[in-house]
Structure 1
């Protein structure tokens, strides 16, 4: 997905729109991501002197390993972003804003699309609501608040005498 800047400047008064199905190789190098396919990208590019504003919508299917069951699952990825390509920036310039990119003669969206896909894939994903059998969670309790947890905890007998100190301090106030 590359366009020359001179081609994009022809759309000075209107937005240049695009829609494309992509086949990208080696999108992610994570061990739990097996494949990224059915990548559909659409968007628009607006020109403002030396800056090009790109609205990108990405939809893809990420085949990854379920973090609970270990089975292969499909994660439906959807990413929307606004990226800015600026001609006045140098290639080696240190840029704080991750949505700002230097551009020279042509606007190439492929590296940006790969980056957006990679940062949008969740670290942990599971289609199952159940914990695996081997998780040793038989004696686990889930508490909705700290107070509920503290009520359920027995007081250590060695600290039982200290409890009387707190009760007398509260009554003196």
Structure 2
């Protein structure tokens, strides 16, 4: 199993016993409203099914639980069709999303030949877009996506981070 460690976080594979904490974090509307593909409300059974189905993590296709030692699960980050993440509301504004994303991006680019990573965010999700821009993602356009929590189509900003842009950052800290 692949585990990534940062100064403050452990990024690890999902386990069935993560389901209660996962449900609490992603089940809060303040979190779910920004997550387009996530069914809402999310029940414990839905979270258990989702976590049971997560694939083995590879640099091309991964879903990590973001764990803060001593605090447990504080979010999740994935690199599937695009880079996506969520952080439980009590942990917002502390740089955990940036720290987790930087670890996943570094791992991805060091282990693959891919030239870019796509991502996106609701057009009004200033925090997520700020995080992406801090990491070097650039806006590439807009598209409409259906939000389960909002029960409506939402304008999404499509972003992209190239290997060249990531490498140009050097060893700069993102926090």
Tell me the TM-score normalized by structure 2.
Answer: 0.24
Query: Greater relative contact order (Cα 8 A, min sep 6): structure 1 or 2?
Result: 2
Which structure has the bigger radius of gyration? Answer: 1
Tell me the TM-score normalized by structure 1.
Answer: 0.24
Write 1 or 2 for the structure with the bigger share of helix. 2
Write 1 or 2 for the structure with the bigger share of strand. 1
